[in-house]
Chains A and B, each alone.
Chain A
Amino acid sequence: MTFGGVILKASLFVTCIADMMYAEVGESTVRVLRRLGVDLDFPEGQTCCGQPAYSCGYHKEAAHVAKKVIEVFEHSERIIMPSGSCASMVHHGYPELFRGDPVWEKKAHEFVHKTYEFSQFIVDVLGVTDVGATFNKKVTYHSSCHMSRLLGIEEQPKTLLKNVKGLDFVELPYAFDCCGFGGTFSMKLSDISGAIVEEKVDHIVETGAEVLVGCDLTCLMNIGGRLSRRGIPVKVMHLAQVLDQGV
């Protein structure tokens, strides 16, 4: 597939969480995008977007890492991230981190303009709503906070899911409520975080879905971890993994 006769070039910023813990999500991301005709590369040198430090108030440390990221992707035309909160770290955190910096503020803004979250790229840039996948399961979708509230990406992932053949989509009650992860919040205030994720899991169970889909791996790790601890057999998958099924 080409877009107006041009093959789209893009770079994958896989994010540290996918690199470290969910290589299969990275793989699915690559396969899905390539199937859609995107010429995807994976620039060497990439690490983490800097969000953990930024969220804890360590802006200097976050900026140090962010600069490295900006450099790594300097020559990329488009950057795709399979993680909503990392993409919103780029969109909202980077301009904030470098505000007033004569060199880096401009670079940060350039970086922001070419960065897309995975589902946003497919629906809004490629204009594709059906990737041709088949998945015969009952599926529900958790809407991650930063992705929906900071990036405004709400419908794109659901549109893609609803167009998967055989997929029985069921709305998650309070889908927009936070899962309780919140980075170090989940460890520092683990009792509160535990109470919040418990509500989320209850809502998921209510739907009767076999699979919970999300676009943010940290939320999925949190919710999946609780499902696993409670012994609930709901499978947790990233959107890319579902779109990679049955093709």
Chain B
Amino acid sequence: MHIEPSFRRRYQKALADQVMIKAVKLGTGRLRGKRAQAIEEVGQERWANFRNRAEAIRLHVIQHLDQYLEQLIDNVLKKGGHVCLAKTGEEAVRYIEELAKKKNAKNIVKSKSMVSEEIHLNPALEKMGCKVIESDLGEWIIQLANETPSHIIVPAMHKNRFQVADLFNAVNTGPKIPAETADLCAFARQYLRQQFMNIDIGITGCNFAIADSGAVTICTNEGNARIVSALAPTMVTIMGMERILPSIEELAVMLSLLARSATGQKLTVYNTLSTGVRIGEELDGPQEFHLVIVDNGRSKLLGSKYEKVLNCIRCGSCLNACPVYRNIGGHAYGWVYPGPIGAVLSPLYQGMDKYGELAYASTLCGACHVACPVKIPLHDMLYALRNDKVELEKKGELVEDITFKGWSAAFATMSRYRFSIRMARRFQFPLVKAGKIAFGPPPISDWLKYRDMPALPDKFFHEVWPELNKDRKE
């Protein structure tokens, strides 16, 4: 494994940012606790049934993705919605740019969409002169800070209220807002409400599209997506093409799992099921609806050993469960999806060359797999990605290549194994002090940076065995 200096720089910067780390530990700790409590309430056995059911639902959908997408598209078109099929992120961006131009849109208000982060939509629209405002509180905070989300469901988890107050006061024309959560939220409500009142185009993400009804489901606790979809004359919903369910019956299962996994709630406060364009005499709701379905690397995962990663419902519980995420936060991962799901998605979507090393940013503790509501074997995928990196891409590190070739040759034969550990014991003496090693050359110097290491003992177990076995009758 070769760790790129760029990744090293990112995580070292993160480790040094005590304010951020404190905030992330607090946030993930809270979410983890709430989730555990929710599962306790549901009962372990019923929770296991929920996960099995959800996995089975997702598996079926992914293996029949073409059918469900066709059905969804036809139903959306039938209800007067427009559909854009975007093979790449660029195609999706271009479509929305053209729409903004056609509508002569000045004010674009968004509710949270991870795919829009993935395709870098905001900078493109801003470049055209549109004012783009994120309406999810967390997303708005990081927009003001000119940053990217550090957590899938709590995008500004890494910030504390003093930092938020500074950001808000920079756009505030009234009296200074104190760094108290209630005041900050009240300001956000009032400021963002003004944006909603002048909305030309609303852009939302999509938690689940329902194939048989041509509907999209958007879940928010704040209600911002609800306002966007009620007031925007033109509404654009961006969805990753795998975010689809056959009917509202499956939706009931998924919504129940999503809220509990993400925040420990029984249900997200606002779950909106929308078929797009207003009908008859309706006065609210969009007059124009555009569903942008994005591939952007997803189709190549179908049928592969990584197919199950498409089960993901973006609840973020693998992030909260991950000891690495909890200690470096989201930005160190480098792309939009952090944590274990990011360590798998980033190399698969963006390329092994760019993000392959993320597969090594894990202790392989398996907490992600256990936390996942749709049972994605993230843990196994991290192993598989490492193997791909070594064998398929020949991207092992030279030193490590030699080490493991040598190790394999030595450890497959007892005599060579025993010889090599005896040699190590013989030559460790310059490093040993009072039975332990505290300083040494690379690579053990990395270990010794934080911990001592016991010295190899005078007797190995296999040297003790004959004595132990003296009394045993064969």
Contact = CB atoms under 8 A, between A and B. Distances in A.
Any A–B CB pair closer than 8 Å? yes
Interface residues of B, number: 65
Interface stretch (A111-119, A163-171, A174-182): A174-182
A84 to B, nearest CB: 12
B436 interface: yes
Interface in B366-421: 366-367, 369-370, 379-380, 383, 385-391, 396, 400, 404-405, 407-408, 411-414, 417, 421
Interface stretch (A102-110, A203-211, A224-232): A224-232
B443 interface: yes
B446 A190 contact: yes
A61 B405 contact: yes
A197 interface: yes
Contacts, number: 204
Interface in A155-213: 176-178, 180-199
Contacts of A48: 411, 417
Contact of A58 (B396, B438, B449, B461): B396
Given A187-B444, A191-B11, A56 B404 contact: yes
Nearest to A68: B412
A4 interface: no
Contacts of A182: 362-365
B451 interface: yes
Interface in A47-69: 47-48, 50, 52-62, 64-65, 67-68
A188 B442 CA distance: 11
B273 interface: no
Contact of A64 (B15, B360, B412): B412
B364 A149 contact: no
B360 A14 contact: no
B447 A42 contact: no
A55 B404 contact: no
B366 A146 contact: yes
Interface in A63-107: 64-65, 67-68, 96
Contacts of B414: 44-47
B328 A192 contact: yes
A183 B364 contact: yes
A11 interface: no
B469 interface: yes
B61 to A, nearest CB: 26
Interface stretch (B50-58, B131-139, B452-460): B452-460
Contacts of B379: 149
A9 B76 CA distance: 67
A184 B1 contact: yes
A60 B401 CA distance: 11
A222 interface: yes
A34 B471 CA distance: 11
A57 B1 contact: yes
Nearest to B473: A39
Interface string B315-341: 000000001100110000000000000
A24 B444 CA distance: 24
Can you list the 4 inter-chain pairs with the closest CB atoms, starting with the nearest? A225-B451, A182-B363, A57-B386, A194-B450
